[in-house]
Amino acid sequence: MTDQTDTHPVIRLRPKADARAMRHGFPWVYSDELVTDRRTKALAPGSIARLEDSERRPMGVVAVTPDSRIIARMLDRDPEAVIDRSWLAGRIARALELRERLYDAPYYRLVHAEADGLPGVVIDRFGDAAVLQPNAAWADRLTDEIAAALVEVTGCSTIVKNGTGRARGLEGLPEETAVLMGNVDAPIEVPMNGAIYMADLLGGQKTGLFYDQRPNHAFAARLANGARVLDVFSHVGGFGLAALAAGAVSATCVDGSSAALELAEAGARAAGMGDRLSTRKGDAFATMEALAGEGAQFDLVICDPPAFAPSRQALDAGLRAYERVARLAAPLVAPGGYLGLCSCSHAADLTKFRNASARGIGRGGRRSQLLRTGYAGPDHPMLPQLAESGYLKVLFFRLAP
């Protein structure tokens, strides 16, 4: 691929745009900050352009999606940068160096979008396989080049494109999943926190596994020895399997997906823990109400729901949903037991989520002490200038007798 900077169109910030924030590391230009003349509007989604401030001073090379609210994403602050396979390989190699320093085995998030200098790009690694999510138009256009650079740097032989999710819709991209190279004929075993997880790279949620919860799984496991554990919104058994590996006497996984629960059961069997795992398929709220009606109690309850507040418009409804989760979960915790509550909603900041959780616990008739606040693991680095990249919050409470 050739991509010479002298052929790039030039786009320009409006005089009132916050150029200083961009120069200090903010990675996005919003549509109302850019001069959107006829030529800019005519650019194909994912076009590479040179960005200038309102005084025509160069700011860097960006990817442009004219119809998106995030109209430009910073790729490189060097205005002469060439966005080719070599450039992509350099970014991936830098990301790989960090992960190899952090982890002994090649199971991790390899690229975490803006924080790794590849805006809108997510890559999760599963040993010799990798799942690529090109969630921005520029990355979707360069999918084959990103995949080739990924193979060059990591040596992975299987690359899956997962083109699903809300972010792609905001970029006007279609949903599609495809094996770009190699083959995937079965779920992949992923060792993590002493447990074995089964990742479905083609049919599972997101990339097939949520690596971001790794450190929170580990903390929950410290509370789980000898415990009865309830893992609500369990997906493939994230918290439940880690708890069993740490010596929990039993774990019950609750999820609305039969396929996810089957993977949880397969993971438990693969680790020789199948006799201690049970599953319940159904709506999480209804299942917690049913468990309360049965008089069930657990020493450790974890609730890891989907993003109830994916946008500011959904914030109030999302906070009510988080409060309801806490209200229904609290009575299921045995006296002196532990409750873990999770939010992956970037629109609900830590304070709002913590307050909603505390209200719910109180409405559930329990008193609590907050033990720990957890976040995503270090393979999900946060870009300090972009609050959205710090999306995951996990609160661990001990509930009074």
What tens-digit pLDDT sequence spans the chain (401 residues)? Answer: 444 445 789 999 999 888 889 999 999 999 999 999 999 999 999 999 999 999 999 999 999 999 999 999 999 999 999 999 999 999 999 999 999 999 999 999 999 999 999 999 999 999 999 999 999 999 999 999 999 999 999 999 999 999 998 889 889 899 999 999 999 999 999 999 999 999 999 987 888 899 999 999 999 999 999 999 999 999 999 999 999 999 999 999 999 999 999 999 999 999 999 999 999 999 999 999 999 999 999 999 999 999 999 888 999 999 999 999 999 999 999 999 999 999 999 899 999 999 999 999 999 999 999 999 999 999 999 999 988 788 999 999 999 97
CA dihedral over 315, 292, 339, 211, signed as positive or negative: negative
Backbone Cα Rg of the chain: 22
Q: Which residue has the tokens 């590996």?
A: 245
pTM of the model: 0.94
Note whether 55 and 19 are within 8 A (CB). Answer: no
Give the H or E element holding residue 93. Answer: helix 85-102
- Cβ atoms within 10 A of the Cβ of 206, count? 16
Note whether 212 and 365 are within 8 A (CB). Answer: no
- 276-301 burial string, b = 16+ CB within 10 Å, else e? bbebbeeebeebbeebbeeeebbbbb
Residues constituting the chain? 401
Instruction: Domains for the chain: give ranges and CATH numbers.
Output: 5-76 (2.30.130.10), 85-181 (3.30.750.80), 188-399 (3.40.50.150)
Distance CA 215, CA 384 (A): 20
Phi, psi of 73 (to 5 degrees): -125, 130
Please tell me the number of Cα atoms within 13 Å of 71 on its side-chain side. Answer: 20
Catalytic residues: 344
Note whether 231 and 240 are within 8 A (CB). Answer: yes
DSSP E strand stretches across 35-106: 47-52, 58-64, 70-76
Distance CA 284, CA 287 (A): 5
Bridge partners (DSSP) of residue 144 are: none
- Decide: helix, strand or coil at residue 95: helix
